[in-house]
Structure 1
Amino acid sequence: MIQLILSDLDETLLNDDGSIHQKNIDAIQKFTQNGGYFVPNTGRSYKSVTGTLNTLGLNQARQYVVSYNGGAIIAIEPDGKEEVVAQHNMSLDLAKKIFELGQIQDDVDTHIYTLDKLFIYNISPADKQYMSERQVPYTEITSDDLTFLANEKPIMKVIFEHSEPAVRQKIADNVTNELALSVLLTFSSNRYVEFNPKGVDKGVTGLELADILHIDHANTAALGDNLNDAAQIKAAGVGVAVANAKQEIKDIADVILTTTNNDAAVADFIENYVI
């Protein structure tokens, strides 16, 4: 019996415009009212998931979010109080090296996630629109001097945005050729190339949350669409690919849905495989 559902957000739970299908809301509420845990497992910061949680209206005694591709587990109480349950951050030195290696051309923009903030360097117009549609808060920075981060909370991940797959792959190669033993590489949303510390991913931390909740790994499910979801889809008891998922994700999934993120794929899974 599935007791914990870990779900990616963008291109999985959320429609392309960043909204949530009403069928998804209804199915998730039914699942949680019956004692299940529905937990966003996202590359985003937990601060940017607050609106999604409010829309879902879970009203659980304690809501959890797995953020930063497994970088942290955050518990959120009904009164809004937040607790960092688990944290897997990177050093400032590593973040600086990743940042420097990713600056391969002038039109690359860079996101640096700390535990509670997102800083974006050289943000592109397309990325600015993407972030606005999803109501993601961020601070724009204009200097490539990252020394100020020493006074911020721990750094969780560094990602780069570019519209061209070849540019993203070149960034990936440039960073991993130098830092292969220190970073974990993933791609997401057909626009980002992402770097976490080695050993940190959605699957490892998703199962860490299952252990915290005393839920057997066999009773977990994970839904996703893109390459940064591969780890959780492999790790969960039931790995689920939405219809719009990349073929690499479908190839490793236990369940391949016929519905896309725009057709309430999460509700499809809950109604036909869980409840």
Structure 2
Amino acid sequence: MTYKLLVSDLDETLLNDQGVVPQTNIEALKKAIALGVKFVPNTGRPYTTVQNLLQQLGLEEAAGQYVISYNGGIITENQGNRILSQTGLEQSLAEKIFHAGLINDQVGVHIYTLHYLYIYNLSSRDALHLQQRQIPFENLVTPSFPQIAANDLILKVIFESTDLAVQQAVEDQVLKIVGRDNVTPSRSSNCYVEFNPPRVDKGSATLRLASQLGIDRTEVIGVGDNNNDLSLIQAAGCGIAVQNALPEVKACAQVVLQNDNNRGALAEIVERFILHDK
């Protein structure tokens, strides 16, 4: 099989535990790109935070190269960060999610819009991550939903807790209040419970982009490690889990890599599934 599209999660997949791309991954991906394979980061992060990675791979400002961000909420072309598709939450729904998920005073909440990030109850862990990624945000001092401009798009609402029982309680309460059919829940990084619009996920966005490019799903590789990568792995013709993936992610993948995110998992994919055909 000749693969034309390699779609990868970032945190705990392409990036190592220090949030850096291993050099072996960079070198391997450059080989794949030189052969005409399109490499698409598919992340829950904003697309603006992926620019350094694109620069490392020679894809920054590149026409005909793409990023999927906000768990599938936005697809952009790298040249000019041109938005090709975007799907957001109605403000009234986002506000219901916000209040429903604040089940105790230890839970943090992030509201991602196209132009801003609002955070209530910021943890020291998240403060460090945001500083490392140079993401500006507005700190909410009270548990009140912020005033968001009518022309700004709310892309997702996420809750932060390292307690698995609290994560489950947050998800259960939000789904009870807003209805299971009105949101797409997912988990990431072992501490986030994320809510996107219905039918918005990494997998559906991958298939939408592939269709626009005239690429069949059988020609797509999708790789990830966490719950919010399940849709990507299931949608791709070749769904791959890195060695450090959650057990439920490994169970749904067609391939489980020998390498984890610290040992060049993407380089293993390129060697096994792209270069071996050339």
Indicate the TM-score class for this superposition, using the shorter chain for normalisation: over 0.9
Q: Note if contact 1:92-1:150 (Cα within 8 Å) is conserved in structure 2.
A: no
Tell whether the 8 Å contact from 2:96 to 2:177 is kept in structure 1 after alignment. Answer: no
Partner of 2:19: 18
- Any conservation in 2 of the 1:32–1:58 contact (CA below 8 Å)? no
Per the alignment, residue 71 of structure 1 pairs with 73
Aligned residue identity for 1:259: N
Alignment partner, residue 165 of structure 1: 164
Alpha carbons 1:185, 1:194 under 8 Å: kept = yes
Preserved contact between residue 47 and residue 116 of structure 1 (Cα < 8 Å) = no
List per-residue Cα deviations over 1:15-62 (Å, max 9, x = no partner).
Answer: 111111001001111111111110011111111111221222235433
TM-score by length of 2: 0.94
Please state how far the C-alpha of 1:266 moved relative to its aligned partner.
0.7
Aligned residue in 2 for 1:109: 108
- 2-side partners of 1:137 and 1:54: how far apart? 21
RMSD value over aligned CA atoms? 1.4
| DSSP 3-state at the match of 1:258 | coil
Bigger drift between 137-146 and 120-129 goes to 137-146
Aligned residue for 1:232?
Answer: 232
Distance 2:56 2:140 in 1: 30
Name the counterpart of 1:200.
200
In structure 2, the residue matched to 1:183 is 183
Mapped contact 1:29–1:56 kept (Cα < 8 A):
yes
Alpha-carbon distance in structure 1 between the residues aligned to 2:87 and 2:16: 29
CA distance in 2, matches of 1:116, 1:49: 16
Partners of 1:17 and 1:133 within 8 A in 2: no
For 2:116 and 2:39, the matched residues in 1 are separated by 24
Cα 1:147–1:110 shift into 2, 3 Å: closer
* Structure 1 residues 116-131: aligned runs within 5 Å: 116-131=115-130
Residue 72 (structure 1) shift: 0.9
Which residue identity does 1:229 align to in structure 2?
A: D
Instruction: Give 2:37's aligned residue.
Output: 36
The one-letter code of the counterpart of 1:127 is: D
8 Å Cα contact 1:226/1:249 also seen in 2: yes
SS in 1 for 2:205: helix
Q: CA deviation at 1:151?
A: 4.3
AA at the equivalent of 2:242 = V
| C-alpha contact (below 8 Å) 1:45/1:116 kept by paired residues | no
Letter in 2 for 1:126: R
Deviations 1:132-188 (A, max 9, x none): 334444332324333521345200110001111111111011101122121111010
Q: Structure 1 stretches of 5 or more lacking a match?
A: none
* Cross-structure match for 1:210: 210
Distance 1:192 1:175 in 2: 14
Structure 2: runs of 5 or more not aligned = none
Moved more, 49-58 or 197-206: 49-58
Contact 2:63 2:77 in 1 (8 A): no
Percent sequence identity over aligned pairs: 44
Q: Which deviations, in whole Å up to 9, do the C-alpha atoms of 1:93-117 show, x marking residues without a partner?
A: 0100000001111121111111233
TM-score by length of 1: 0.95
Q: Equivalent residue of 2:152, what SS?
A: coil
